[in-house]
């Protein structure tokens, strides 16, 4: 099988295209489709809303697009059990709308929620600012079904929170980038909708002034769900998108809380005292706070020529940020989790950004972490290393890949 001679409407990312597209509407037809194409020597490239099409290495084998958006049904929703089982092609926005009608929510935020399918969110391990207080995708999943390159439907976990039997396929599939199989169904934990939400937006002249404040907030009496740190260009973008008049110079620290109205007010009072040294402090509540959270979640990565995601010890974050030039990068940090996002500003040449990436990665590795490139020009993916420095557990990941996908047909080239 060869790559198509010309471009078509089946993009795989990195300027490559599928030879065809399959749009199954149930797991049985999806499994039969996978078995047929793999038997014919084709690779399988699962897709949902195409929100992460350029992430990872370039596709390295000709194959077909497997569009899962037709699998979008609710399988089971026992409201009192606070779990929901849905097909992987349902979007995050559609699920949240369903849960909201019962006063519940999935405690997860992701960019492009109207397009992003749940299968893709879990395959890419995508999370937003609420990961600090509400957890990551792996914290919400208790059951999964996926289709292997053999055309077999494999299930793991269950539909009850305390199910612990068997291998932990739900967590194994989370963040696997479709390299082990195509997710077709997920069982997720839900939570009640909060009565009230609020954000505190505080301005600081430099990251040096912030270091003792960040350390002290780790022992705060409050229980924030959002703990974000932005540099000036990121703050300008967030403030503009949220349609709020907020200060954006220097460093911006944002804390978010939720609960009953009384609990939210108490937490705002506590945080107000703990953040009293800020040069400016603004509180936003409810609808404005929700809009601000949405803006914080929506990384404009699709518009950036290059982006990085560094994971490091939270205690090393301010030292890392001191090396990130706001004239070249807009940075947003999940400050309580040690995750730093950087989006390249459009005016900076790629060659200069590449020099920064090498330096940033050395800093991240020295801080017991790593740095990956969710966005990177195709011709630089090889030398810049989109998945960061090799680690000891990569060989274990390859062994699992060979066990579940011996044909190497599932999303080849994209992951590790």
What are 360-371's pLDDT values in tens digits?
999 999 988 999
CB within 8 Å of 205: residues ≥ 6 apart = 250, 251, 279
pLDDT tens readout for residues 317-350:
888 998 999 999 999 999 988 999 999 998 889 9
Burial 327-338 (b: 16+ CB within 10 A, else e): ebbbbbbbbbbb
Query: For the chain, percent helix, then strand, then coil, each to nearest 5?
Result: 35, 25, 40
Residues β-bridged to residue 88:
none
Other CB atoms within a 10 A radius of the CB of residue 308 amount to 28
Which pLDDT does position 159 carry in this prediction? 66
Which pLDDT does position 393 carry in this prediction? 87
CB within 8 Å of 56: residues ≥ 6 apart = 13, 177, 386, 387, 413, 414, 415
Which pLDDT does position 239 carry in this prediction? 95
- Site of tokens 């990872």: 56
CB within 8 Å of 204: residues ≥ 6 apart = 210, 213, 250, 251, 252, 253, 278, 279
Which pLDDT does position 166 carry in this prediction? 54
CB pairs under 8 A, 24+ apart, for 340-344?
340/308, 340/309, 340/310, 340/311, 340/312, 341/299, 341/307, 341/308, 341/309, 342/307, 342/308, 342/309, 342/310, 343/234, 343/299, 343/300, 343/301, 343/304, 343/307, 344/304, 344/305, 344/306, 344/307
Angle at 220 between CA 141 and CA 241, to 5 degrees: 65
Angle at 56 between CA 383 and CA 233, to 5 degrees: 85
Whether 42 shows a pLDDT value over 80: the answer reads yes
38/404 Cα distance (integer angstroms): 14
171/141 Cα distance (integer angstroms): 7
Which pLDDT does position 167 carry in this prediction? 65
CA distances (Å), origin 272, targets 78, 134, 295: 40, 22, 23
pLDDT tens readout for residues 250-264:
999 999 999 999 999
Highest-confidence range of 99-103, 159-163, 211-215, 387-391, by mean pLDDT? 99-103
pLDDT tens readout for residues 76-119:
999 999 999 999 999 999 999 999 999 999 999 999 999 999 99
Whether 164 shows a pLDDT value over 60: the answer reads no
38/405 Cα distance (integer angstroms): 11
Which pLDDT does position 5 carry in this prediction? 85
CA distances (Å), origin 66, targets 5, 202, 416: 20, 45, 21
For residues 261 and 216, the answer to whether their CB atoms sit within 8 Å is no
Residues β-bridged to residue 281:
202
Which pLDDT does position 152 carry in this prediction? 95
Residue 283, helix vs strand vs coil: strand
Count Cβ atoms within 10 A of the Cβ of residue 55 and give its class: 0-12 exposed, 13-18 middle, 19 or more buried: buried
Whether 73 shows a pLDDT value over 60: the answer reads yes
pLDDT-based confidence at 355, cuts 50/70/90? very high
Tokens standing for residue 10: 């089946």
pLDDT tens readout for residues 183-204:
999 999 999 999 999 999 999 9
pLDDT-based confidence at 305, cuts 50/70/90? confident
pLDDT-based confidence at 165, cuts 50/70/90? low
pLDDT above 70 as % of the chain: 97
103/190 Cα distance (integer angstroms): 10
Which pLDDT does position 347 carry in this prediction? 82
Whether 160 shows a pLDDT value over 80: the answer reads no
For residues 335 and 316, the answer to whether their CB atoms sit within 8 Å is no
Tokens standing for residue 144: 């999964």
Whether 301 shows a pLDDT value over 80: the answer reads no
CA distances (Å), origin 169, targets 165, 173, 178, 248, 303: 11, 6, 13, 43, 34
Give the mean model confidence (pLDDT) for residues 26-53.
96
222 Cα distance to chain centroid: 26
Largest Cα–Cα separation, the chain = 66
Which pLDDT does position 161 carry in this prediction? 54
Give the mean model confidence (pLDDT) for residues 397-407.
93
């Amino acid at each position: 099988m060869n790559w198509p001679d010309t471009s078509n409407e089946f993009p795989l990312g990195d300027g490559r295209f599928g030879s065809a597209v399959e749009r199954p509407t149930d797991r049985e037809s999806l499994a039969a489709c996978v078995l047929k194409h793999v038997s014919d020597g084709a690779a399988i490239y699962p897709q949902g809303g195409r929100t992460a099409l350029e992430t990872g290495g370039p596709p390295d084998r000709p194959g077909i697009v497997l569009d899962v958006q037709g699998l979008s049904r609710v399988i089971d929703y026992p409201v009192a059990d606070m779990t929901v089982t849905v097909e992987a092609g349902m979007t995050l926005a559609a699920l949240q709308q369903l849960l909201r009608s019962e006063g519940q929510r999935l405690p997860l935020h992701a960019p492009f929620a109207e397009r992003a399918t749940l299968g893709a969110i879990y395959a890419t391990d995508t999370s937003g600012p609420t990961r600090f207080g509400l957890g990551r995708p792996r914290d919400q999943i208790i059951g999964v079904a996926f289709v292997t390159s053999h055309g077999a439907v494999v299930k793991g976990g269950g539909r009850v929170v305390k199910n612990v039997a068997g291998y932990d396929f739900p967590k194994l599939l989370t963040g696997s980038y479709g390299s082990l199989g195509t997710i077709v169904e997920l069982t997720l934990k839900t939570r009640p909708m909060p009565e009230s939400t609020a954000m505190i937006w505080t301005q600081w002249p430099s990251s040096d002034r912030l270091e003792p404040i960040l350390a002290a907030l780790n022992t705060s009496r409050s229980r924030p769900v959002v703990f974000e740190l932005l540099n000036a260009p990121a703050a300008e973008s967030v403030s503009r998108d949220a349609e709020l008049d907020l200060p954006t110079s220097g460093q911006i620290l944002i804390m978010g809380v939720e609960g009953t109205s009384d609990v939210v007010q108490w937490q705002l009072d506590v945080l107000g005292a703990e953040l009293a040294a800020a040069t400016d402090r603004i509180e936003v509540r409810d609808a404005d706070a929700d809009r601000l959270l949405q803006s914080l979640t929506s990384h404009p990565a699709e518009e950036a020529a290059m982006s990085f995601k560094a994971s490091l010890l939270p205690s090393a974050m301010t030292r890392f940020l001191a090396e990130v030039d706001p004239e070249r990068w807009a940075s947003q940090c999940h400050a309580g989790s040690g995750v730093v996002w950087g989006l390249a500003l459009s005016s900076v040449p790629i060659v200069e950004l590449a020099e920064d990436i090498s330096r940033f990665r050395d800093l991240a590795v020295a801080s017991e972490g790593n740095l990956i490139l969710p966005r990177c020009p195709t011709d630089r993916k090889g030398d810049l290393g989109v998945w960061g420095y090799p680690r000891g557990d990569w060989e274990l990941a390859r062994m699992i890949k060979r066990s579940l996908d011996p044909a190497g047909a599932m999303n080849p080239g994209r992951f590790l």
